[in-house]
Structure 1
Amino acid sequence: MPRKKNKQKKLHIKKGDNVELISGNDRGKRGKVLRVFPDRDRVLIEGINMRTKHQKPTQENPQGGRMKQEMPVHISNVLPVDSVSDEATRVGRTRVSETGKGRWVRVAKVSGETLDK
C-alpha cells in the first residue's frame, strides 16, 4: 500500500515578514524572514541567531577564517510584527471574497489588519 503524502502545513510566517523572537538568547530582537523551512518547522531571520562558522580558504575566499552566519530558528519561537500597532501579534485566518471567489488571508489578532500583502 503506497504511503500518503502529508498535506502542506499552514504556517503563520512567510518569507519577507517582519518578525520578533519571543524566546532564546536573541529574545526581543526583530528581523526580516529570509527563508522558511516548512519540513523542519524553522525560519531563517536576518541578523538573528548568528553563529561562527569556520571556513577553509577557497578561491572565492582565499583568506578563510571565522565567518558569522545566521542559523534557523524554530517557528514556534517567532511572532510576526503588526505594522499598525508595531508589536508582536498572534495570527488568525479569515476568508476574504474577491469577485465571488474567497481566499484565506492572515490577520493580526491585535489590530485585525491583514498581514498578507
Structure 2
Amino acid sequence: MAKLHIKKGDMVYVISGESKGQQGRVLKVLVEKQRAIVEGVNMVSRHTKPNSQYPQGGIIKKEAPIHISNLMVVDPTTGKPTRIGRRLNDKGKLVRYSKKSGEEIK
C-alpha cells in the first residue's frame, strides 16, 4: 500500500465535499480505508442509548471519516494548503516537506 501524505496531528484543509474550506487537526488515520478523522470536520448526528459515557443518551454530534484525497496539509509557514513531497534531510532521514515553501513538516 502506498504511503499517505497525512499523519495524525497534522493541520489539514478540506478541498472538496460538504465541509469544503474547513481546517482542523487530524485525530486518527484509517490507513486501510484511506480515510482520516479530522477535528470539527464532517460532523454527523448519532442517536445513542444512555451509557456510561453519555448517561443522558440522545443525539450526539461526532466526526465521521473523510477520504484523504479531499484533504491537503496546511503549510507551517504560510498557513495555506500545500502539496507534500519527500526528501532526505541532512541526517539522511526521509522527511515530508511543503512544496510551496520548501519547509520541513514535523
Change (3 A) 1:109 1:63: same
What's the CA shift for 1:83? 1.2
Change (3 A) 1:106 1:60: closer
Change (3 A) 1:59 1:16: closer
Distance between the aligned counterparts of 1:68 and 1:83, measured in 2? 29
Tell me the equivalent position of 2:77: 84
Matched to 1:97, the amino acid is D
Give aligned-pair identity as a percent: 47
Q: How does 1:8-87 map to 2 (within 5 A)?
A: 8-87=1-80
Query: Match of 1:76, SS?
Result: helix
Distance between the aligned counterparts of 1:45 and 1:62, measured in 2? 25
User: What are structure 1's unaligned runs of at least 5 residues?
Assistant: 1-7
Distance between the aligned counterparts of 1:42 and 1:25, measured in 2? 15
- TM-score, scaled to structure 2: 0.94
Change (3 A) 1:58 1:107: same
Matched to 1:69, the amino acid is K
Check whether the contact 1:9–1:38 (CA below 8 A) recurs between aligned residues.
no
Tell me the equivalent position of 1:4: none
TM-superposition CA deviations, 1:68-94 (whole Å, max 9, x none): 010000000000000111100000111
Runs of 4+ in 1 over 3 A off after TM superposition: none
Flag the structure with larger Rg. Answer: 1
User: Which among 98, 102, 105 is matched to residue 112 of structure 1?
Assistant: 102
Number of paired residues?
Answer: 106
Considering only aligned residues, what root-mean-square deviation do their CA atoms show, in Å? Answer: 1.1
Matched to 1:76, the amino acid is S
Distance between the aligned counterparts of 2:83 and 2:44, measured in 1? 28
User: What are structure 2's unaligned runs of at least 5 residues?
Assistant: none
